[in-house]
Amino acid sequence: MPSKLPDEALPLLRTRREALREALLRWFEREARPLPWRRDRTPYRVWVAEVMLQQTQAETVKRYYADFLRRFPTVEALAAAPLEAVLKAWEGMGYYRRARLLHRAAQQIVAEQGGALPQEAEALRRLPGIGRYTAGAVASLAFGQPVPAVDGNVRRVMARLLALPAPTTGEVEAAVAELLPDDRPGDFNEALMELGATICRPRSPECRRCPWRAFCRAHRQGAPERYPAPKGRPALPHYEVAAAVLIEAGRVLLAQRRPEDMLGGLWEFPGGKREAGESLEAALRRELQEEMAIQVEVGEALLTLEHAYTHFRITLTAFRCRRVAGEVRCLECADFRWADAATLSAVPMAATDRRIAQVVAPLLENAP
């Protein structure tokens, strides 16, 4: 249930409710970007779009959405597909846990509900990968349920409208619930997100183009960017990671990550983190022994790249390696394979491994 709003927020929402609704919806009808997922609000399509949009910009999602629906046009098709095919369709969008949970939820919907998504936000939230925001978005957009859908954009717009420095999600949900029209909750939620994404941006909001300018307390104070107050973010930990490029008979060794691990189900060049006091080369020799049961000689560095995940950053160096002893076995991975150039391009990989693969592919083609 939405929590109680600060007292000073209620009068604006209640006395100007109709004017706020009308101004926002009219603006949305005029200015909404023609995004592909707005053309068809069938529940499956809305759900796929909302999961993609959880951590990916709309411009990037546009490049994936149509192709994903072409490969998996229905919830049944998604449920029946191998996880590897789903991860491949997701490759490059990052946050692969979303794809695994989407796939698992599709299987649950087919097995338990005959392929129909639940209509209520509470029931949607019981599915894998559907949190508070996604449940609200699917329930309101696909089923017309009058429930809020609060993402970062909506939080920012409402914080500024009401001049709240640090509203909780519950408070923002309560504020949106005050304004949601019963007849168009999906349009209203989408309009609010669109306002945050295109006009009321974190920096340099374009108040002169905003349909809520006449009502907005932060704008009236002359410093909208002060709301909401920025959250202090601790520095991300940094790790140095080494990966092995081990080529034999024109094929390169790949390991598949275990399903329960981060990036589970994706394929990678085997390796791991450097520990304190270790060189990168020593770390790689140790990891190959622990992970794949082989001893390797570490040769030249092929490339080094930087990458930031949500909770840490890495500097990854890929080394050419040569096996000197042992038969490859999977000790700490789900599977392994010796990949030729075609397999290398076909398997799903995270962005960092895909960049290594681009350097490795010509080496395979030129290998004896």
Number of residues forming the site for ligand SF4 (CB under 6 A): 14
Cα(198)–Cα(122) distance, rounded to whole angstroms? Answer: 30
Q: Is 161 in the site for ligand SF4 (CB under 6 A)?
A: yes
Which is catalytic among the residues 50, 173, 190, 281?
50
> Does the active-site annotation cover 332?
no
- Angle of helix 97-113 relative to helix 43-53, nearest 10 degrees, comes to 160
Q: Does 164 bind ligand SF4 (CB under 6 A)?
A: no
Q: Check binding of 13 to ligand SF4 (CB under 6 A).
A: no
Tokens, residue 203: 């920096």
CB of 196: closest distance to ligand SF4 in angstroms?
A: 8
Cα–Cα distance measured from residue 149 to residue 126, given in angstroms and rounded to the nearest whole number: 16
Near ligand SF4 by CB under 6 A: residue from 65, 212, 267, 319: 212
Q: Is residue 23 close enough to count as binding ligand SF4 by CB under 6 A?
A: no
Query: 270 with 287: CB under 8 angstroms?
Result: yes
The region of 86-94, 132-140, 212-220, 281-289 touching ligand SF4 under the rule CB under 6 A is 212-220
CA–chain centroid gap for 89, Å, is 14
Could you say which of 118, 205, 228, 270 contacts ligand SF4 (CB under 6 A)? 205
**Whose Cβ is closer to ligand SF4: residue 201's or residue 337's?**
201
Q: How far is the CB of 157 from ligand SF4 (least distance, A)?
A: 5
Q: In the Cβ-directed half-sphere of 312, how many Cα atoms lie within 13 Å?
A: 10
Minimal distance in Å, beta carbon 161 to ligand SF4? 5
Residue 21 interacts with ligand SF4 (CB under 6 A): yes or no: no
Give CA separation, 8 vs 12, 159, 174, 224, 240, in Å: 8, 12, 13, 18, 50
Instruction: List the one residue out of 31, 12, 32 whose CA is nearest residue 216.
Output: 12
Residue 52: alpha-carbon gap to chain centroid:
6
Q: For residue 194, what are the β-bridge partners?
A: none
Print the binding letters for residues 112-151 with ligand SF4: x by CB under 6 A, - otherwise: ----------------------------------------
Nearer to ligand SF4, 199 or 280 (CB): 199
For the chain, the first-to-last Cα distance in angstroms comes to 65
Minimum distance between the CB of residue 215 and ligand SF4, rounded to whole angstroms? 8
User: Cβ of 257: how many Cβ atoms within 10 Å?
Assistant: 20
Q: According to CB under 6 A, which one of 79, 127, 150, 218 is a site residue for ligand SF4?
A: 218
Nearest-CA neighbor of 4 among 179, 185, 177?
177
Q: Does residue 216 belong to the site contacting ligand SF4 (CB under 6 A)?
A: yes
Helix (H) or strand (E) holding 23: helix 17-31
Kindly tell me which of 161 and 243 has the beta carbon lying closer to ligand SF4: 161
- Phi, psi for residue 239 in degrees, rounded to 5: -125, 145
Residues 32-71 that bind ligand SF4 (CB under 6 A): none
**Catalytic center residues:** 50
Name the residues that contact ligand SF4, by CB under 6 A. 157, 160-161, 199-200, 205, 207, 210, 212-213, 216, 218-219, 224
